[in-house]
Amino acid sequence: MQVPAPFDYVRATSVGNTLELLERHGPESRVVAGGHSLLPMMKLRLARPEWLIDINDVAELRHITEEPDRLRVGSLTRHAALLASDVVGRLFPIVHDAEKVIADPVVRNRGTIGGSLGQADPAEDLTTVCDVLRASVVIAGPGGERVVDMAEFHRGPYETACEQHELITEVRFPIRPRMGSAYEKVERRVGDWAVGAAGAAVQMADDGTIADAAIGLTALGLEGLATEVAAVLVGQRPSEDLITEAGRLAAAASSPVEDQRGPVDYKRHLADELTRRVLRRALDRVGATVPAA
């Protein structure tokens, strides 16, 4: 049996209490929510926190709130709750695309959006989703709250703007009209980390051109959005040629590494293939027609 090194454990009662506990127990304390990354690492003794601060009782962190121009999602919201939410599916179908392929139901019942973003695993799906939806993250600290956009929040693999003494409390998604989004992942088996994945969000202008576009890649060596792809899309009418060009540019923007999931050229090919697929689906979802070539 895999057993972790010795640690102490405390249950937080509120955001304020969590911040107090983080300060009291210092740099070797860790917040645990779903625990699906932290606990396996502890059992393998790759992570050895001295204190676990359990936030599962902090009810204020668990909500999905629709406002006129934004959707607020509490950081303790489970994957399963996002997947079950009609509001989320209606506004941002990309979230449901992604949640359907995040691990398996057992993991989705416990894992949280805050945990996923905070862990910042390079093969993690919600970072790409939040990137393309231009989400922002609310971080609470001793001095109060601050709101950062994804580009600022996500600093790279396993690294975010949330400091040791801070807590991710909320993710905010702007609601924009005439927007479509989609996500697709290739995995070797259900529940495996992504071999590669792509996410797309497009906003259409009244004249049938693309007003805004965002393309992101997962596990393919691209941090943040593929800006070169967006640049060729914005202002254009959807066409087969445009989609082909977007795929080509996404592959060029990717920088994958070889591992047991596949070689570099295959992963580059996936960046191309999956970008074209999600772009086409996002356009389809917003009702934009792509004339046959």
Partner 1 sequence: MTTVEERSTMPQERESNPAANAADRPIGYGRIQRKEDPRFVRGKGRYLDDIVLPGMLHGAILRSPMAHARLVSIDTTEALAHPKVHAVITGKDLEGLNLAWAPTLSADTMAVLATDKVRFQGQEVAFVVAEDRYSARDALELIDVEYEELPVVIDARRALEPGTAVIRDDKEGKTDNHIFDWEAGDKAETDAVFARAAVVVSEEVVYPRVHPAPMETCGAIADYDPIDGKLTLYETTQAPHAHRTLYAMVAGIPEHKIRIIAGDIGGGFGNKVGIYPGYVCAVVGSIVTGKPVKWVEDRSENLMSTSFARDYIMKGEVAATKDGKILAVRTHVLADHGAFNATAQPTKYPAGFFSIFTGSYDLEAAHCSVTGVYTNKAPGGVAYACSFRVTEAVYLVERMVDVLAQKLEMDPAELRLKNFIRPEQFPYKNKTGWEYDSGDYEPALRMCMEQIGYADLRREQEEKRARGELMGIGVSFFTETVGAGPRKHMDIVGLGMADGAEVRVHPTGKAVVRLSVQTQGQGHETTFAQIVAEELGIPPEDIEVVHGDTDQTPFGLGTYGSRSTPVSGGAVALAARKVRDKAKAIAAAMLETRPEDLDWEKGRFFVKGDPSAAKTIQEVALGAHGTVALPDGIDGNLDAEVTYDPPNLTFPFGAYICVVDIDPGTGKVKVRRFVAVDDCGTRINPMIVEGQIHGGLADGVGMALMEFIGFDEQGNCLGGSFMDYLIPTAMEVPDWETGYTVTPSPHHPIGAKGIGESATVGSPPAVVNAVVDALAPFGVTHMDMPCTPARVWEAMQGRPTPPI
Interface residue list for partner 1 (CB under 8 A): 1-3, 5-6, 44-45, 104, 186, 188-193, 195, 260-263, 266-267, 269-270, 273-274, 277
d(CA 18, CA 153): 20
Q: CB of 195: closest distance to partner 1 in angstroms? A: 6
Cβ-count burial 131-169 (b if 16+ within 10 Å, e if not): bbbbbbbbbbeeeeeeeeebeebbeeeeebbbeeebbbb
Closer to partner 1 at the Cβ: 133 or 271? 271
Q: CB of 104: closest distance to partner 1 in angstroms? A: 7
The answer to whether 71 and 91 are in contact (CB under 8 A) is: yes
Closer to partner 1 at the Cβ: 211 or 266? 266
From 31, 63, 23, select the one nearest 47 (Cα to Cα): 31
Q: CB of 2: closest distance to partner 1 in angstroms? A: 4
Neighbours of 175 (CB within 10 A): 14
Q: CB of 175: closest distance to partner 1 in angstroms? A: 32
Closer to partner 1 at the Cβ: 24 or 45? 45
Closer to partner 1 at the Cβ: 54 or 192? 192
Q: CB of 69: closest distance to partner 1 in angstroms? A: 37
Closer to partner 1 at the Cβ: 104 or 152? 104
d(CA 278, CA 144): 38
Closer to partner 1 at the Cβ: 45 or 90? 45
Start-to-end CA distance of the chain, whole Å, equals 58
Neighbours of 227 (CB within 10 A): 11
Closer to partner 1 at the Cβ: 172 or 261? 261
From 126, 282, 115, select the one nearest 219 (Cα to Cα): 126
Q: CB of 126: closest distance to partner 1 in angstroms? A: 19
Q: CB of 17: closest distance to partner 1 in angstroms? A: 28
Q: CB of 40: closest distance to partner 1 in angstroms? A: 8
Dihedral of CA atoms 103, 272, 256, 186 in degrees, nearest 10, equals 20
CA atoms within a 13 Å half-sphere pointing along the CA-CB vector of 114: 28
d(CA 165, CA 31): 10
d(CA 54, CA 278): 37
Q: Per-residue DSSP letters for 209-267?
A: SEEEEEEEEESSS--SB-HHHHHHHTTPPP-HHHHHHHHHHHHHH-----BTTB-HHHH
Closer to partner 1 at the Cβ: 260 or 291? 260
